[in-house]
Structure 1
Amino acid sequence: MAPAYALVLSLAVTAPLFAPGYLLLRDAVSTPRSYLSDAALGLAEAAPRALPQDFAVALISTVIDGGVAVKLLLAVGLWLAGWGAARLAASVLPDAGRAGQCVAATLAIWNPYVAERLLQGHWSLIVGYGCLPWVATAMLRLREPEPRWADVGVLVFWIALAGLTPTGLMLAATVALACVFAPGAGWPRWRCATVTLGTALIAALPWLTAAIVARSLAPSQSEGVAAFAARAEPGLGTLGTLASLGGIWNSEAVPSSRTTIFAVVAAVVLLGIVLLGLPVATRRPAAVPLLCLAAVAVLVPAAMATGPGLAAVEATVRALPGLGVLRDAQKWVALAVPGYALAGTAAVVTLRQKLPGLPAAATAVVCCAALIATLPDLAWGVGGKVTPVVYPAGWAAAAAMVDDDPGPVAVLPVDSMRRFEWAGDAPVLDPLPRWVRADVLSTGDLTIGGVTVPGEGERARTVQQMLLSGADRDQLADAGVGWVVVESGAAADALALPVAYHDDDLTVYRVGGDFPEAPGRPLVLAAHLAWLALLLGGLMGLLARRTWVTRTLSPRKACTEPTLDDRER
């Protein structure tokens, strides 16, 4: 029942995406085909923030359309979040039955964190988020008596899958390490921690290796700390906003219901369900580490949004540029969700104890309905804002032209984010870097609230200045530019370059320059293959355990779980 219910909720959110077209919204970029360019392997000047995500999509898009792959991964990630929360609830609070599992699934899928990350375009983070309850369940199983080696494969698989992005990997490893402290007679804590850290290290090789080889981590990342701080919502303050799983830095990536005082009602409902179940949940030793982690996941980002907190984070990132991933403090609130899901599950037990005449199913319906009703605009693509777009025909023609002679591409306008009439009102990342074989020069600059946070692309910045100052073809070719692409009607009157393609959306100029392939490509490719081998090896362990469970348990035991009412009878 729980997997089907979680699937329904997931489809209620993502259904619009299954119309023809591509996900193109703020940070989310999908294209028909991606390639293993230097940028996809993290060898461009920009920090390797999307690894091994770009590598994985490039591989998948050789088999199916890249846009279809991204939309499927997003929907599956959200489904895994709900299903995984239900499985975690069944493991830690079996007496809550299916009713409690449905509350856990609802809380994991239907919350402001999911809505805001969808609106920001963080589809791969949603995949990592969906792995968190599975990671927790796998680690708790290792702490139980007589764990099997296949259980290690299960843990490895979910950590590796969460490692589609650096943030997802760090979230999964943190959840696993927290669950190490659960009591149990299984593997000792040091062994569980060693497996977790070893798996995380291998899964991190793509972006660690790329950052070292390309030397792409710059102290300039510290300049964006204040811009990325958690944001307070109406009537809640920063702490209340984070506790209710909201507070993303971008005020435009927020569902409408969270922009008014109604956010207080939503927060009261969510936190009321969590607090209602907290006394029961705290009496379950396996739940305590996740509940403690939830508290830390709320309090620390709130502290990071204060003056002293911002100063501390800025100093840390300046000293250790690799920790620039810490800037977006609100995304770490995902660590609270497994604990919240368990507390929400326990709310069913609490209500049954206080209202013994009320069926468990009725309490679950009330809790689930309340969570959904107080965030109504998460449905249907967050109120119709997360929907696919159709690229104009000129984009495919321009990409094919560049792919025939994949020299480095310079792009105008100079901003990293674009606004296309055919892509809706929200700004989007330039799709071209993920569509062509060639490397597309990008500064990585980001403008937030009128303040520009500089990126790491110094070469791109130099070439852009050359373009804006009217450099001729020979000068651009000497700088290693093969093509110039002008998008979205940007002014390019000063470019005295031969036009290779032109329509109302794009103008492509042929320059003919080239640039040496980035060094260290075989090493970085090997790091990506190590992550892929880890993922596939973990998948084999997952399948092996599934086979063992199927053979060991009877059909009734394997398929039937007692409800709370059954246990009371």
Structure 2
Amino acid sequence: MTRVRSLGTLWAFSVALAALILAPVLGGVIGDGEALLYRDAVSTPRSFVTDTAMGLGETPARAVPQDWLLALASHAVDGSLIVAGLTFGALVLAGVGSGLLALRVVPAARTPGALAAAALAIWNPYVAERLLQGQWSLLVGYGALGWIVVSAHRCLVAPTRGTWLSLLAWSAVAGLTPTGSVLAAFVVLAVLVIPVLWNPSATAHEGVLRVIGAAAVVVLASLPWLVASVLTSAGATSDSAAVDAFAARAETGLGTLGSIAGLGGIWNADAVPSTRSGVWAPVAVACLLAVVAIGGTQAWRRRRRIPLLPNLFWLGATTVVLVVLAATGPGRAVLGWIVDTVPGAGLLRDTQKWVALLVPFYAVSAAFAVQAIGRWVPRGLAAVVAIGLIALPLPDLAWGVGGSIETVAYPRDWSAVADIVPADEGDVAVVPAGTNRRYAFTGGVVSLDPAARMLRAPVVTTGELSVGGTTVDRPDRSRATEVADVLDRGEPSDRLAELGVGWVLVEDGSTPATVSGLAVAFRGPTLTLYRVPAPDVVRASAGDRAVSWTAHGIWLGIIVLGFLGAAIGAGRRLVQWVA
């Protein structure tokens, strides 16, 4: 009965905190039928399973399998509702997962300790800054970390088919994005693999089986983007110039070390809540670290009795050291060489996002802090003190990060164009080139171009990004760069047709020379669509699409099977409790 009540309280508390943060977003999407179009967050009413959505185009598979899942789900549910729901769910899962971890590691702290752990996981600068950057899908991976720690630890101490399935399912949830897959892999390495390798009491057979099992979990959970990385024609390495652009940043009065230890330091100064950009920032970090220090000291004293604690500590400590080093001149040079040389290493360049790996230890420390403070005051009051030190210094995380995140209504032009462009009459070239936009209907807020998710046909894009006025990731030569050059030079539209372009979508009101003489398929106040006749349609091969669909299907099946197994297990436990 006590455990059921604790879990119910933990879920309710996490839902309440997530709702307090995302209330205006949920209200705008559910109540007003609007969408998110804010920096990296792009939601559209409907999206489609194009080659690009499966990572089979010429650009890196940055949004695999995210875009595929949204395309499938938006057949039945408005895509903006899905994005808002997944963001909300990510925060709830972060709180509950961290709370469950606390109950497992610090049972003496009971429900108050679990609530403090949940508060730290939900209400922190990392969540605020990634929300402001629009990286909702990264937060899904973040939300799965506590669950992965618990599942990996169960696989270590009492492995069963159920525990392995749970670990696989939660790792697959984190694998909604490539970064989430890597976060999950680091946690599995720290909690499951390293203890097995260092445990002299384990037999060689047991160790080999668990290491193989952990490797299989990581690969299967990452299958869609691993397959996409093999099948895509995009370059395997990344632009080393992006390392400087995405390096962790020292926030006001904190230095790089203080910013990272305080769960902040995102590269984009515009994606920082106001309480982290002024003189209040050191006070806020001091309050957070006070909770971590009080609880962390208690955790370190118990490290021999609870082997999971040093694993989480060293995972966090190693992350801090590497992220801080990567922000120095020599560190940037080394990381630049790595991303320019090692295939797939471009995932590492936004180093601040790995700060998520500190949160499991911080959450456990918050529970230990409640236990320590609870020696002098009632445990409930101790939780109030700890949660106050965590949340009150960051008041502007509430209500859409101080009202910064707002939903928008797409002009009717977008739905009109989406209805016209079919899937099989050529790709779409967009003017202006690039992916960054400042639309009037978003109030001039920087966002990504929604065309790639709104239209049935693939949008030809170079994949280049503009960061602080610097353009990175533009390939030396590709079909997309040729299309951009044709439009820039005003060459005849016949060349576009040869490159597989069947449509030109102009978003800035200009009239490129290349479109002169082309039929206007649609003209509205904000968009103009031109038809390019007889394009040579370019598509991925049937074999590549079949392999990609299989990989995505396996990934989704893992999640469904894992959650179904968890539901059956919970039902059995409930029946036993009632009986």
In the superposition, the TM-score normalised over structure 2's length comes to 0.91
Return the letter of the residue paired with 1:412. Answer: V
Distance 1:152 1:255, change over 3 A: same
Asked if 1:489 is matched to 2:509, the reply is yes
Asked if 1:510 is matched to 2:531, the reply is yes
Farther-moved stretch of structure 1 (517-526 vs 372-381): 517-526
CA distance in 1, matches of 2:282, 2:46: 43
1:197 to 182, 195, 215: 215
2:298 to 273, 276, 280: 280
CA distance in 2, matches of 1:241, 1:338: 18
1:16 to 24, 35, 38: 24
Match of 2:3 in 1: none
Distance 1:472 1:524, change over 3 A: same
Distance 1:70 1:439, change over 3 A: same
Return the letter of the residue paired with 1:499. Answer: V
CA distance in 1, matches of 2:488, 2:154: 60
Match of 1:173 in 2: 185
Match of 1:370 in 2: 389
Farther-moved stretch of structure 1 (80-89 vs 358-367): 358-367
Return the letter of the residue paired with 2:500. Answer: G
CA distance in 2, matches of 1:555, 1:136: 29
Contact 1:140 1:182 in 2 (8 A): no
Match of 1:250 in 2: 268
Offset from partner CA, 1:127-156 (integer Å, 9 cap, x none): 1100000011112222334x4422222111
Match of 1:301 in 2: 323
Return the letter of the residue paired with 1:238. Answer: T
Asked if 1:501 is matched to 2:536, the reply is no
Match of 2:82 in 1: 69
Match of 2:480 in 1: 460
CA distance in 2, matches of 1:195, 1:424: 50
CA distance in 1, matches of 2:510, 2:213: 52
Return the letter of the residue paired with 1:5. Answer: F
Offset from partner CA, 1:77-105 (integer Å, 9 cap, x none): 11100111111100110100111111101
Distance 1:478 1:182, change over 3 A: closer
Contact 1:209 1:524 in 2 (8 A): yes
Q: CA deviation at 1:528?
A: 1.3
Tell me, what secondary structure is at the counterpart of 1:252? helix
Distance 1:253 1:489, change over 3 A: farther
Match of 1:567 in 2: none
Return the letter of the residue paired with 2:350. Answer: D
CA distance in 2, matches of 1:412, 1:544: 52
Farther-moved stretch of structure 1 (89-98 vs 528-537): 528-537
Q: CA deviation at 1:541?
A: 2.9
Distance 1:65 1:514, change over 3 A: farther
CA distance in 2, matches of 1:190, 1:226: 40
Match of 2:48 in 1: 35
Contact 1:131 1:161 in 2 (8 A): yes
Return the letter of the residue paired with 2:22. Answer: T
Match of 1:546 in 2: 570
Match of 1:60 in 2: 73
Asked if 1:338 is matched to 2:351, the reply is no
2:410 to 387, 391, 400: 391
Q: CA deviation at 1:478?
A: 2.1
Farther-moved stretch of structure 1 (336-345 vs 285-294): 285-294
Match of 1:107 in 2: 120
CA distance in 1, matches of 2:422, 2:402: 37
Contact 2:237 2:345 in 1 (8 A): no
Match of 2:493 in 1: 473
Match of 2:560 in 1: 536
Asked if 1:417 is matched to 2:425, the reply is no
Q: CA deviation at 1:220?
A: 4.3
Farther-moved stretch of structure 1 (195-204 vs 232-241): 195-204
Q: CA deviation at 1:352?
A: 2.1
Contact 2:490 2:512 in 1 (8 A): no
Tell me, what secondary structure is at the counterpart of 1:489? coil
Return the letter of the residue paired with 2:452. Answer: P
Q: CA deviation at 1:17?
A: 1.2
Tell me, what secondary structure is at the counterpart of 1:226? helix
Q: CA deviation at 1:218?
A: 4.3
Distance 1:384 1:208, change over 3 A: same
Distance 1:126 1:526, change over 3 A: same
Return the letter of the residue paired with 1:247. Answer: G
Contact 1:224 1:327 in 2 (8 A): yes
Tell me, what secondary structure is at the counterpart of 1:50? coil
Contact 1:157 1:542 in 2 (8 A): no
Q: CA deviation at 1:301?
A: 0.6
Contact 1:228 1:249 in 2 (8 A): yes
1:207 to 225, 235, 240: 225
Farther-moved stretch of structure 1 (533-542 vs 186-195): 186-195
CA distance in 2, matches of 1:551, 1:132: 29
The runs of 5 or more residues in structure 2 that have no matched partner are 1-8
Farther-moved stretch of structure 1 (445-454 vs 225-234): 445-454
Give % identity.
Answer: 43
Contact 1:151 1:541 in 2 (8 A): no
Contact 1:419 1:488 in 2 (8 A): no
Match of 1:360 in 2: 379
CA distance in 2, matches of 1:330, 1:191: 33
Q: CA deviation at 1:406?
A: 4.1
Q: CA deviation at 1:475?
A: 2.6
Match of 2:427 in 1: 408
Q: CA deviation at 1:530?
A: 1.9
CA distance in 2, matches of 1:248, 1:435: 29
Match of 1:149 in 2: 161
Offset from partner CA, 1:320-369 (integer Å, 9 cap, x none): 1311000000000101101100011100111123x2xx111111112212
Q: CA deviation at 1:524?
A: 1.7
Offset from partner CA, 1:423-479 (integer Å, 9 cap, x none): 133211110101111010111111222221133472222111211222223232222
Distance 1:425 1:263, change over 3 A: farther
Contact 2:238 2:345 in 1 (8 A): no
Q: CA deviation at 1:551?
A: 4.1
Offset from partner CA, 1:269-322 (integer Å, 9 cap, x none): 111100011121121332221121111121111111111111111111111131
Q: CA deviation at 1:517?
A: 1.3
Contact 1:96 1:346 in 2 (8 A): yes
Offset from partner CA, 1:5-45 (integer Å, 9 cap, x none): 01100011111112231111111111111111000010111
Offset from partner CA, 1:486-511 (integer Å, 9 cap, x none): 11434546630221111111010111
RMSD: 2.0
CA distance in 1, matches of 2:388, 2:433: 47
Asked if 1:267 is matched to 2:267, the reply is no
Return the letter of the residue paired with 2:293. Answer: L
Contact 2:59 2:233 in 1 (8 A): no
2:62 to 49, 56, 62: 49
Contact 1:144 1:186 in 2 (8 A): no
Contact 2:487 2:513 in 1 (8 A): no
CA distance in 2, matches of 1:167, 1:309: 20
